[in-house]
Amino acid sequence: MNMNQLSEGKFDIREEIRLIPKVMYVVAALAFVGMQALFLLVAFRHDPHAPPFPVQVLIATLMGILLGILMLLVGYVNRDAKRRGMNYKLWTVLVLFIPNAIGYIIYFVVRQPIRGACPQCGATVNPGFNFCPKCKFLLHPACPQCHRAIEVGAVFCPYCSAELKGQG
Ligand SMILES: [Zn+2]
Ligand SMILES: [Zn+2]
């Protein structure tokens, strides 16, 4: 069992940021510099209606920061999708190529919960599992009649009133 599994469930922004691969910081910095060059040396230079130079610098800086953040997010989605057991290669490509950051929005809506570990045998289990696939440990007690998740020790199912003897 590693630290990722121990801390699952709690959202810690520092832990999330630590997921971003170091190489993506280099890519983000290059993207920032590239944006400066693109705007200041190419786009504005050949535009007769270009805004005054300080405004050019402001626009180039903001676009550079935006692109840099998007690059860091690509790295984050890549690692985050991997730890969630999702198709991380597909998601990395999707967030990169779907325009206007729509890929990120879709990702954060549909992403799977972080995988946990079975308390009994340590096998990797999805949060939706009711039983551990390796050792049949009851991960989430469920009503035998309506199969909804119930609290440990409940006597009656709060959803369908089935009697729950010997469940908790
Ligand atoms: Zn198990
Ligand atoms: Zn029930």
Which pLDDT tens digit goes with each residue over 72-85? 999 999 999 988 88
Structural contact between residues 137 and 118, judged by C-beta atoms closer than 8 angstroms: yes
Task: Give the Å distance between the CA of 13 and the centre of ligand 2.
Answer: 37
Task: Give the Å distance between the CA of 134 and the centre of ligand 1.
Answer: 5
The pTM (predicted TM-score) of the whole model is 0.64
pLDDT, greater one: 84 or 68: 68
Tens of pLDDT, residue by residue over 8-61, are 456 788 888 999 999 999 999 999 999 999 999 998 988 888 899 999 999 999
Task: Give the Å distance between the CA of 157 and the centre of ligand 2.
Answer: 5
Task: Give the Å distance between the CA of 125 and the centre of ligand 1.
Answer: 8
Q: Which ligand is nearest to the CA of 137?
A: 1
Q: How far apart are CA 165 and CA 154, in angstroms?
A: 9
Q: Which ligand is nearest to the CA of 117?
A: 1
pLDDT of residue 99: 85
pLDDT, greater one: 164 or 91: 91
Q: Do β-strands 124-125 and 116-117 pair in parallel, antiparallel, or remain unpaired?
A: antiparallel
Q: How far apart are CA 13 and CA 70, in angstroms?
A: 17
Q: Burial, 125: exposed, middle or buried (Cβ in 10 Å; 0-12, 13-18, 19+)? A: buried
pLDDT of residue 155: 87
Q: How far is CA 168 from CA 71, 124, 156, 164, in A?
A: 47, 23, 11, 8
Q: How far apart are CA 77 and CA 96, in angstroms?
A: 10
Q: Which ligand is nearest to the CA of 150?
A: 2
Q: Is the dihedral of CA 114, 115, 117, 122 positive or negative?
A: negative
Q: Which ligand is nearest to the CA of 167?
A: 2
Mean pLDDT of 95-123: 86
Residues 6+ apart with CB under 8 A from 69: 28
